[in-house]
Amino acid sequence: MWDFKNRRFSYNDLIRITNNFQNNIGTGGFGSVYVGELENGTQVAVKRRSDSSSQGVKEFLAEAQNLTRVHHKNLVSLIGYCTDRDCMALVYEYVKEGTLQEKLTDNARPLTWKQRVRIAMESALGLEYLHKACNPPLIYRDVKTSNILLNVNLEAKIADFGLSRAFNNGISSHVSTAILGTPGYLDPEYYSLYQLSEKSDVFSFGIVLLEIITGQPPIIGSPEGGHVTHWVSEKLSRGDIQSIIDPRMHGQYDINSVWKVTDLARKCTENSSANRPTMDVVVMELKESLDLEISTEGTRNGSTSNTYPHNHSRNNNFVSDVSQNSAFEMAYIGDPAPGPSAR
């Protein structure tokens, strides 16, 4: 299973490049991630599997195999691996600015709307590549803001391929599989039918879009909270889009661009996967949204309208079917019902 061309590191190599695993930058179900430096000065991230890891050897090897065959500027690149002295580790490019999740909660240096839409578009490009250009195509299966990394130029790179799953979109529209993923992002159709498809990634990406718009997590802990789709639906039913927009942006955005991304998030989070767009359509819509923001950026005076633009109405139902009627809502917002586990 380790028959691929990337560089093979020994355990001593990892000790040397990480300074004996001194700089821990994160810990997850797989183990810990450390910053290291190669002999040519290139910074790397070393993802080392711990003995108590909830991510099994199968998932760890799957990530290694998947990373060796994906090559796109918006996906994290694998540099090498280690299987020495019972040590299993992946060495990949170091993405310095952390995760999108961290940036969305940064009050000191909040992301602008233009930055947010560009990050969304670049992430969508990475997913489009996985769905369309890989052979066989890959369903990523764990789309969330903590898996979208940002480099020094705030360019998006999708990381953590441990749950990715190959599928053949020319033969079958879905893969039957056990439920894996992150609560709050799971496709309700996947949750209820155990049928995974590329549209499951689209649903999760729609949740990411709502986080980008609102600055809220998928599950909102406030008394009026619940799942972000329900929260947004309730707010928009009153006809005021300003009430859902992240206040960290201080009103500096093109309102039509925000509406366009909001509508896209609604389509992505449709309860039925057949009604969701494909990732190539998502990329196109986000490109148009970014163009709208750029076109008004220089002339904006800071005032925005809190009413629906001409092509929207109060009767626009925003994903209420997802938040009110799905097994997903029952599983994560009310009292959890017995069902498949999620990572």
Q: Is 178 buried (19+), middle (13-18) or exposed (0-12) by CB count in 10 A?
A: exposed
Q: State the DSSP H helix or E strand holding residue 295, giving kind and residue range, or none if neither.
A: helix 279-297
Minimal CA–CA distance to 43: which of 90, 96, 102?
Answer: 96
CA dihedral 189, 190, 195, 197 (to 10 degrees): 100
Cβ–Cβ under 8 Å, residues 196 and 174:
yes
Cβ–Cβ under 8 Å, residues 137 and 128:
no
- Is residue 142 annotated as part of the catalytic site, yes or no? yes
User: Quick one: angle between helices 113-132 and 255-268, nearest 10?
Assistant: 30
Residue position matching structure tokens 């947004």:
232
CA dihedral 275, 185, 141, 197 (to 10 degrees): -20
Reduced to 3 states, what is the DSSP secondary structure of residue 272?
coil
Minimal CA–CA distance to 203: which of 28, 67, 321?
Answer: 321
What gap in Å lies between CA 278 and CA 195, rounded to an integer?
17
Catalytic residue, from 142, 160, 187, 254: name it: 142
- Does the annotation place 47 within a ligand binding site? yes
What gap in Å lies between CA 306 and CA 209, rounded to an integer?
20
- In the beta sheet, which residues pair with residue 138? 166
Sign of the torsion formed by the C-alpha atoms of 169, 189, 229 and 106: negative
- Residues known to be catalytic: 142
Which residue numbers belong to the known binding site?
47
Which residue numbers belong to the known binding site for ATP?
47
